[in-house]
Amino acid sequence: MSSDDPETLANAALALAYFGEDISAMMALVDRALALNPSFARGWHISGTLRLWAGQPDLAIEHIEASLRLSPRARVGMAFSLIGAAHLVSGRFEEAVPTLLLAIQQDPNYPPAYRSLAACYAQMGLLDEARQVVTRLHAITSVVAPDISVRNAEHRELYLSGLRLAASETT
């Protein structure tokens, strides 16, 4: 492994962060990748993902948007899902909903967008809509419970409490 290969550095940072390694160290690793190649769209996407997990939703949005500017055709559904999740954990539900709907439109088989949308609707008190989203989620996966990588306890609880509300009475 080359210590100067941005792709290797960014992918390693994402994998290690996913499995619970020190998120700050992994953000430093992806920052190094971006210092080596500031035009590395996937690096910006990974950086945004890690920032979301680390409890920095506004910075996550900035980095995901940078990745989209650099590579507008890259999996935009996934990018919009992350932006929507960042708005959700920030309590900006009205901003999250259209972004998450766009994410689902762009990639209708990507479960995280449905989970975030269901949680968002539930937090807004729109339980019927939340339950409809959970029903749609069941059509594409049997796993409603998310794989939570979000380290910020307040953000994680906002997300999970919304999902609990959305999933109640639908199972």
**For residue 43, pLDDT beyond 70:** yes
- Are 1-72 and 75-171 equal in CATH topology? yes
Alpha carbon distance 148, 164 (integer Å): 14
User: Each residue of 131-163: b (16+ CB within 10 Å) or e?
Assistant: bbbbeebeeeeeebebeebbbbeebbebbbebb
Contacts (Cβ under 8 Å, ≥6 apart) of 144: 115, 134, 137, 138, 163, 167, 171
Task: Flag whether pLDDT at 1 surpasses 50.
Answer: no
Helix (H) or strand (E) holding 155: helix 153-167
What pLDDT is attached to residue 55? 95
For residue 135 the two structure tokens come to: 């029903």
Cα dist from 128 to 16, 119, 153, 166, whole Å = 38, 12, 27, 8
Residue spans per domain, the chain: 1-72, 75-171
pLDDT of residue 171: 47
Q: pLDDT tens digit string along 128-149?
A: 999 999 999 999 988 766 767 8
Pick from 46-55, 56-65, 67-76, 92-101: least confident: 67-76
User: What pTM, to 2 d.p., does this model score?
Assistant: 0.92
Fold of 75-171: 1.25.40
Two structure tokens written together for 46? 């990974």
- Core vs surface per residue 105-128: b (16+ CB within 10 A) or e: ebbeebbbbbbbbbbbbbbeebbe
Topology of the domain covering 1-72: 1.25.40
